[in-house]
Amino acid sequence: MEKPGGRQKHGKWLLSAFAAAACALYLVIAILRRFDDLPWSSPSAYAGVEFWPAFALLAAGFLYFWGRRRNSRLLIRGTQALAGLTVAAVLFGLLLWSAQDHLIYRPGPVEDETLARLRRDPRLEELQIAADDGTELHGWLVQGKADKPRPLVLMFYGQSETAAETVERARKFQDWSAAVVDYRGYGMSGGEPSQERLFRDALTIYDHLAGRDDVDSNRIVTWGGSLGTGAAVHTAAERPAVGVILYSPYDRIAGGVADDFVPILPTTWLLRESFDVRSQAQSITVPVMAVIGAQDKVILPQRSMALLQHWGGPVTLDWVEEGDHSSIYEREQTWEYVLRFLDQRKE
């Protein structure tokens, strides 16, 4: 025979278990989304998981008042703990919001010794380009070996690099000239970086170089690595280009790359700068070559593939099975593919 109040007690335990299981499921899914080698993982999988703090807070409030009505200390303490975890997630979100510029941009100076060495190189031309607001942008032009006017690769590097460091990659393009200009706040460029300024300056740099007599404005390829892939895509969408080369590209940072790092938070709302280039990729009809490392833990391969799915033109994929976010730049076979891609753009 069932004891008096047994059904109510049983119902409370069921409700508590359901709420706890729901919150635990959200957390588990959020963690699993971080791993790119799971068969059910994708950048869009479980897209609403970042809203688990709201669900958890609602569940905690409901269970708390239920526990108060039923005078259940276990329910009250459990829901207080759940609410505490939710508040901690909110505080972590505020920390992310306040530190977002440092997380996206990591500018560094150019050492005097490096600067002096580059200035002595006869193949290098030092660039000084004025942005539309007068800010001075500094960079380098590596002269190609072809006859003038030469085709040009316009390069945009990653978040913690500089133009001086990227020059070594620029030398690999042989017949093609290559230009790389520091973002605002990086190297010897003035100002402070932001998505709007980065994208706007990219077009200014393109226009400046395309107007030179020694540059073939009909044969310009944009090249981007990591953070710089957004600028490369933006430039190819807004200016004439015969091709695009992308290392570890992304479709968006807010709600995308950032979501992969902290999937339990709504990064679409927390980050001021989205770097969402999906719609621009759809408008580009020229070929793209994408280099993706299967072991990349910074920009997940699925994130890169999400951009390629939006591409409006032909796609060439160099999938580096053992490559990570850094090692893909050192693979000689990849550079052979890049040079072959550029030879096709000269035809």
pLDDT in tens, 146-182: 888 999 999 999 999 999 999 999 999 989 999 999 9
- C-alpha to C-alpha distance for 181 and 161, rounded to whole angstroms: 11
User: Is 226 inside any structural domain?
Assistant: yes
Verify that 191 and 281 share a domain, yes or no.
yes
Verify that 29 and 154 share a domain, yes or no.
no
Verify that 117 and 198 share a domain, yes or no.
yes
How many CB atoms neighbour CB 29 within 10 A? Answer: 17
User: Is 149 inside any structural domain?
Assistant: yes
Q: What is the dihedral of CA 180, 185, 190, 196, to 10 degrees?
A: 80
- C-alpha to C-alpha distance for 318 and 249, rounded to whole angstroms: 12
Reduce the secondary structure of 37-73 to three states and give it as a string: CCCCCCCCCCCCHHHHHHHHHHHHHHHHHHHHHHCCH
How many CB atoms neighbour CB 22 within 10 A? Answer: 14
Pairing between β-strand 150-156 and β-strand 177-181 as defined by DSSP bridges: parallel
> Which structural domain range is residue 94 located in?
6-36+46-98
CA distances from 94 to 89, 117, 268, 269, 311 (A): 9, 44, 13, 11, 34
Verify that 175 and 283 share a domain, yes or no.
yes
Q: What is the dihedral of CA 106, 339, 114, 183, to 10 degrees?
A: -30
Verify that 235 and 273 share a domain, yes or no.
yes
User: Is 32 inside any structural domain?
Assistant: yes
Verify that 144 and 261 share a domain, yes or no.
yes
- C-alpha to C-alpha distance for 140 and 177, rounded to whole angstroms: 11
- In percent, the amount of the chain with pLDDT more than 90 equals 61
User: Is 107 inside any structural domain?
Assistant: no
CATH of the domain at 135: 3.40.50.1820
What average pLDDT does range 296-321 have in this prediction? Answer: 96
Residue 232 CA, chain-centre distance (Å), reads 12
What average pLDDT does range 50-58 have in this prediction? Answer: 54
Verify that 212 and 254 share a domain, yes or no.
yes
Verify that 218 and 326 share a domain, yes or no.
yes
Into how many domains does the chain fold?
2
Query: Using 50, 70 and 90 to split pLDDT, how confident is the model at 259?
Result: confident
DSSP 305-338: HHHHHT-SS-EEEEEETT--TTGGGT-HHHHHHH
Verify that 28 and 144 share a domain, yes or no.
no
User: Is 41 inside any structural domain?
Assistant: no
Verify that 288 and 162 share a domain, yes or no.
yes
Q: Is the peptide bond before 263 cis (omega within 30 degrees of 0)?
A: no
User: Is 299 inside any structural domain?
Assistant: yes
What average pLDDT does range 77-81 have in this prediction? Answer: 60
The domain boundary residue, chosen from 98, 125, 141: 98
Verify that 14 and 52 share a domain, yes or no.
yes
Number of H helices, E strands in the chain: 13, 8
What average pLDDT does range 5-33 have in this prediction? Answer: 52
User: Is 27 inside any structural domain?
Assistant: yes
CA distances from 212 to 65, 216, 274, 293 (A): 72, 8, 33, 36
- C-alpha to C-alpha distance for 263 and 270, rounded to whole angstroms: 12
Verify that 80 and 122 share a domain, yes or no.
no
